[in-house]
Amino acid sequence: MSTRHLVGVAAAVIVAAAIAVGSSSDSRPNSQHNCRIIPGDASWPPTSVWQQLNKTVDGKLIATIPIAAVCHTTLFDQSNSLFDQDACNALRDNWNFPETHLPSSSSPMAYPFSNNSCNPWLDPRTPCTLGSHVVYSVNATAVSHLQAAVAFAKQHNIRLVIRNTGHDYLGKSTGAHSLGVWTHHLKSIGLIAAYKGTGYTGAALRVGAGVEAIEAYTFANRHGLVVVGGNCPNVGLAGGFIQGGGHGPLSSRYGLAADQILEAEVITAAGDFITATLENEYSDLLWALRGGGAGTFALLVSVTVKAYPELRVSSASLTVLNDGTNADALYASIGSFIQTTLPSLVDAGGYGCLGRGALRLHDQPRLRAGSHLDHLLLPALQTFKDKGLQYQYASAESTTFLDRYNELQKTASWNVSDYNLGGRLVPRKVAVNDTANLMAAVRYISSRTLMSGVSYNLQKGVSSADGGAVNPKFREALFGISIGTAIDYQDWAATLAAQDQITNELLPQLEKVTPDGAAYLNEADYQATDFQHLFYGEAYPRLLAIKHKYDREGLFYAKTAVGSEEWAEGPDGRLCRNPEYRK
Ligand SMILES: Cc1cc2nc3c(=O)[nH]c(=O)nc-3n(C[C@H](O)[C@H](O)[C@H](O)COP(=O)(O)OP(=O)(O)OC[C@H]3O[C@@H](n4cnc5c(N)ncnc54)[C@H](O)[C@@H]3O)c2cc1C
Ligand SMILES: *[C@@H]1O[C@H](CO)[C@@H](O)[C@H](O)[C@H]1NC(C)=O
Ligand SMILES: *[C@@H]1O[C@H](CO)[C@@H](O)[C@H](O)[C@H]1NC(C)=O
Ligand SMILES: *[C@@H]1O[C@H](CO)[C@@H](O)[C@H](O)[C@H]1NC(C)=O
Ligand SMILES: *[C@@H]1O[C@H](CO)[C@@H](O)[C@H](O)[C@H]1NC(C)=O
Ligand SMILES: *[C@@H]1O[C@H](CO)[C@@H](O)[C@H](O)[C@H]1NC(C)=O
């Protein structure tokens, strides 16, 4: 009761503060484009101007109404006719499914990045506000729509946000007071049976920016092919995933998703629709798009990626039972598994998901490999047996990648919104030669919260000419660890504190054993202060130069993206040039 009351009061204060900042800022000159404009500013376009944009984009402009508006009696300071308790209950029941957020032009799947502005679990009298949702978005289905959005944001000095599926864990696909470009409906996929280019001749797919992994897998399979996509079926293939690196079930064989890019169609910050290839004048931009992180170099329209013949795939699942008394034996066995079994598994082309439970030990770990899987896992089973641990083991094989993938999805659960995230890459050297210390860190973390790992060999499968801009440290990793701390929908302060726990207490455990280490920029802590070094490594200076070359004015901005340090969000969410970087 009292908590609800307090939250209500806090939200009312937010509204008042936003209005106050909005009006006072009108007197502050933004002429240098030092700050983006926000609603309430004198120069914020009136409705009639937004309507003109809407005409330019064939009626595809959407004014954001947060999806949880149905749970609130007040919306944007007015009484809300959308309030509907049944619809709200249905939304609550489905909140954690990605499918709830995918059809939305604005809802971030990682809840904290809405800034708690329209919370479906609070008392309905708590107002629903825009918070960090985009204000408008263009539901793009044509290149001209993308260009119109870019031109409009530039002309009016409005913050631009690119959203595809909204999966991003670091808040990169949403932003306060912004115009969104929503690429989700750019669904074209085309087969190029015989692509010919520098260093590659063979099958390729041209994949539109809105295509999801499962759509690309299914299309490829129809042509007897596979492509490198992610593990989750509806993470985009050609958005944040591929530009950030992108690991998936086939990565130990063919490399990261970014390594597969042969060319990319993009809209530049200048508004030009161009194709960047490995050979042409935009090859530097293509290099950056191949692993340098999304949302900052250009607006991707499509990528052309390598495709490979369909293949037999086997999978295995090993579940070790945690009876509450066998922790020492469990961690020792997992340590030995990481030290001896995982390296041979990934070297054989396997991809190992130490599922939610494998490290926390109460759920189904899933292990995937291309061949000889049972044989590879035998030593691990023996270790578990020797330690007196009970386990369940099952394996299966399919004649195609798609069949095995779909089979595994039946038992997978991809809930998206309940955890704050942090991540760290574990170099093979550490996993193999410093296992005891690594396991001490793992045990510290997993006895406090949720933890998972995904394992691969990114060294061997690499098929790219120059490797792209992927952080070189990614290649040395045996696995990436993700840490999740629970989001508390009733207690925003606790949610923020839970992220701080990742930043200040849990990740440092892993930092100790992985000195001068790295994190995968798509599965990391958005609060990382040295993200330039941590996410991009040696590639950062060249990436920043390319950012400046193609986007001098900083039109494209996303948290922790290359060049984002040159901007800062104010307490009201206004994006301004960081004074330290003003020219
Ligand atoms: C459930 C789940 C499972 C995941 N599994 C994997 C996995 O197996 N392997 C893996 O590597 N990662 C995985 N990830 C992380 C994933 O790669 C990132 O969340 C990634 O950012 C998603 O990209 P998106 O385009 O789908 O999402 P969005 O959130 O829409 O976009 C992410 C970023 O990309 C930018 N962006 C999107 N489209 C474009 C475009 N057309 N042009 C320019 N910039 C663009 C956005 O501005 C934003 O910065 C997973 C994440 C979740 C939530
Ligand atoms: C844009 O135009 C379409 C079609 O006329 C309309 O349905 C939609 O509401 C408009 N969007 C905005 C933000 O006004
Ligand atoms: C996943 O989300 C659904 C829908 O919100 C929920 O019913 C279910 O309990 C969640 N599962 C897990 C494992 O969190
Ligand atoms: C985000 O929330 C905080 C309070 O929790 C508030 O001060 C701030 O103005 C909000 N920002 C936006 C853009 O809504
Ligand atoms: C976006 O456009 C697609 C394709 O025209 C359409 O199916 C979808 O309903 C639109 N979404 C919204 C939220 O307007
Ligand atoms: C582990 O250490 C040994 C001895 O120093 C070394 O030869 C080996 O290469 C190391 N293993 C890895 C994976 O780095």
Task: Determine if ligand 3 sits within 6 Å of the CB of residue 201.
Answer: no
Residues 515-538 have a mean pLDDT of: 97
The C-alpha atoms of residue 171 and residue 115 are separated, in whole angstroms, by: 10
In a domain, 152, yes or no: yes
Do 285 and 149 lie in a common domain?
Answer: no
Mutate to test the pocket of ligand 5, among 185, 186, 187, 188 (most ligand atoms within 8 A of CB): 185
Of 282, 309, 336, the residue that ends a domain is 309
In a domain, 446, yes or no: yes
Of 182, 203, 238, the residue that ends a domain is 182
* 169 Cβ contact partners less than 8 Å away, ≥ 6 residues apart: 110, 421, 522, 523, 524, 526
Mutate to test the pocket of ligand 3, among 100, 360, 415 (most ligand atoms within 8 A of CB): 415
Instruction: For residue 432, report the distance from its CA to the centre of ligand 1, in Å.
Output: 30
> Are the CB atoms for 301 and 208 separated by under 8 Å?
yes
Do 356 and 293 lie in a common domain?
Answer: no
Residues 421-438 have a mean pLDDT of: 97
The predicted structure's pLDDT at residue 48: 98
Residues 543-572 have a mean pLDDT of: 97
Residues 89-104 have a mean pLDDT of: 96
The predicted structure's pLDDT at residue 1: 26
The predicted structure's pLDDT at residue 6: 25
Do 495 and 474 lie in a common domain?
Answer: yes
Q: Which of 305-319, 434-448, 512-526, 546-560 has the lowest mean pLDDT?
A: 305-319
571 Rama class: left (phi>0) / alpha (psi -120 to 50) / beta: alpha
Q: Which atom of ligand 4 has the smallest separation from the CA of 131?
A: 14
Instruction: For residue 52, report the distance from its CA to the centre of ligand 3, in Å.
Output: 42
Q: Which of 23-37, 202-216, 496-510 has the lowest mean pLDDT?
A: 23-37
The predicted structure's pLDDT at residue 417: 67
pLDDT score of 4 more than 50: no
Task: Indicate the average pLDDT of the chain.
Answer: 89
The predicted structure's pLDDT at residue 507: 98
Task: Determine if ligand 2 sits within 6 Å of the CB of residue 327.
Answer: no
Local structure of 8: helix, strand or coil: helix
Instruction: For residue 96, report the distance from its CA to the centre of ligand 3, in Å.
Output: 6
pLDDT score of 11 more than 60: no
Task: Determine if ligand 4 sits within 6 Å of the CB of residue 117.
Answer: yes
Do 133 and 238 lie in a common domain?
Answer: no
DSSP 30: -
* 70 Cβ contact partners less than 8 Å away, ≥ 6 residues apart: 82, 83, 84, 87, 88, 91, 120
Q: What is the CATH number of the domain that holds 506?
A: 3.40.462.20
Q: How confident is the model at residue 309 (pLDDT cuts 50, 70, 90)?
A: very high
Distance of CA 487 to the CA centre of its chain: 17
Name the closest-CA residue to atom 26, ligand 1: 236
The C-alpha atoms of residue 146 and residue 57 are separated, in whole angstroms, by: 8
Q: How confident is the model at residue 380 (pLDDT cuts 50, 70, 90)?
A: confident
Residues 248-260 have a mean pLDDT of: 93
Do 278 and 386 lie in a common domain?
Answer: no
Q: How confident is the model at residue 365 (pLDDT cuts 50, 70, 90)?
A: very low
The predicted structure's pLDDT at residue 393: 86
The predicted structure's pLDDT at residue 354: 80
The predicted structure's pLDDT at residue 455: 93
DSSP 18: H
Name the closest-CA residue to atom 3, ligand 5: 185
Do 218 and 328 lie in a common domain?
Answer: no
Q: What is the CATH number of the domain that holds 258?
A: 3.30.465.10
The predicted structure's pLDDT at residue 581: 85
pLDDT tens-digit series, residues 64-79: 999 999 999 999 999 9
Q: Give the H or E element holding residue 266.
A: strand 261-267
The predicted structure's pLDDT at residue 314: 87
pLDDT score of 337 more than 70: yes
Measured from the alpha carbon of residue 91, the closest ligand is 3
pLDDT score of 381 more than 80: yes
pLDDT score of 3 more than 50: no
Share of the chain above pLDDT 70, in %: 90
Instruction: For residue 105, report the distance from its CA to the centre of ligand 2, in Å.
Output: 14
Long-range Cβ contacts of 529-534 (<8 Å, 24+ apart) = 531/560, 532/562, 532/565
The C-alpha atoms of residue 189 and residue 191 are separated, in whole angstroms, by: 7
Q: Which of 18-32, 538-552, 569-583 has the lowest mean pLDDT?
A: 18-32
Of 263, 281, 309, the residue that ends a domain is 309
Residues 300-329 have a mean pLDDT of: 89
Full strand arrangement of the beta sheet holding 419-427: 391-398, 313-320, 366-369, 351-354, 450-455, 477-486, 419-427
Do 23 and 54 lie in a common domain?
Answer: yes
Instruction: For residue 329, report the distance from its CA to the centre of ligand 2, in Å.
Output: 62
* Angle (nearest 5°) at CA 420 between 512 and 456: 60
Q: How confident is the model at residue 324 (pLDDT cuts 50, 70, 90)?
A: confident
Residue appearing with tokens 């063979």: 202
Do 396 and 508 lie in a common domain?
Answer: yes
Name the closest-CA residue to atom 14, ligand 2: 51
The C-alpha atoms of residue 300 and residue 266 are separated, in whole angstroms, by: 4
In a domain, 35, yes or no: yes
Give me the domain span that covers residue 213.
189-309
Instruction: For residue 188, report the distance from its CA to the centre of ligand 5, in Å.
Output: 15
Q: How confident is the model at residue 20 (pLDDT cuts 50, 70, 90)?
A: very low
Residues 538-543 have a mean pLDDT of: 97
The C-alpha atoms of residue 471 and residue 360 are separated, in whole angstroms, by: 29
The C-alpha atoms of residue 537 and residue 516 are separated, in whole angstroms, by: 10
The predicted structure's pLDDT at residue 500: 98
State how many domains the chain has.
Answer: 3
Instruction: For residue 33, report the distance from its CA to the centre of ligand 4, in Å.
Output: 23
How many of the other CB atoms lie within 10 Å of CB of 9?
A: 10
Mutate to test the pocket of ligand 4, among 572, 575, 576 (most ligand atoms within 8 A of CB): 572
* Angle (nearest 5°) at CA 463 between 460 and 468: 105
Of the two residues 315 and 185, the one the predictor is more confident about is: 185
The predicted structure's pLDDT at residue 383: 87
The predicted structure's pLDDT at residue 364: 34
Positive or negative, the CA dihedral 322, 325, 331, 333 is negative
Q: How confident is the model at residue 15 (pLDDT cuts 50, 70, 90)?
A: very low
The C-alpha atoms of residue 495 and residue 121 are separated, in whole angstroms, by: 14
Instruction: For residue 236, report the distance from its CA to the centre of ligand 1, in Å.
Output: 6
Do 283 and 347 lie in a common domain?
Answer: no
Which pTM value belongs to this model?
0.93
> Are the CB atoms for 318 and 380 separated by under 8 Å?
yes
pLDDT score of 523 more than 70: yes
Distance of CA 419 to the CA centre of its chain: 13
The predicted structure's pLDDT at residue 327: 86
The C-alpha atoms of residue 214 and residue 207 are separated, in whole angstroms, by: 12
* 52 Cβ contact partners less than 8 Å away, ≥ 6 residues apart: none
Do 156 and 193 lie in a common domain?
Answer: no
Torsion of CA 552, 553, 556, 561, to 10 degrees: 60
In a domain, 83, yes or no: yes
Local structure of 477: helix, strand or coil: strand
> DSSP string covering 163-201, please?
ESSS--TTSTT--TTEEEEE-TT---EEEEEEEEETTEE
Do 232 and 331 lie in a common domain?
Answer: no
Do 162 and 243 lie in a common domain?
Answer: no
The predicted structure's pLDDT at residue 355: 58
The predicted structure's pLDDT at residue 583: 57
Task: Determine if ligand 5 sits within 6 Å of the CB of residue 137.
Answer: no
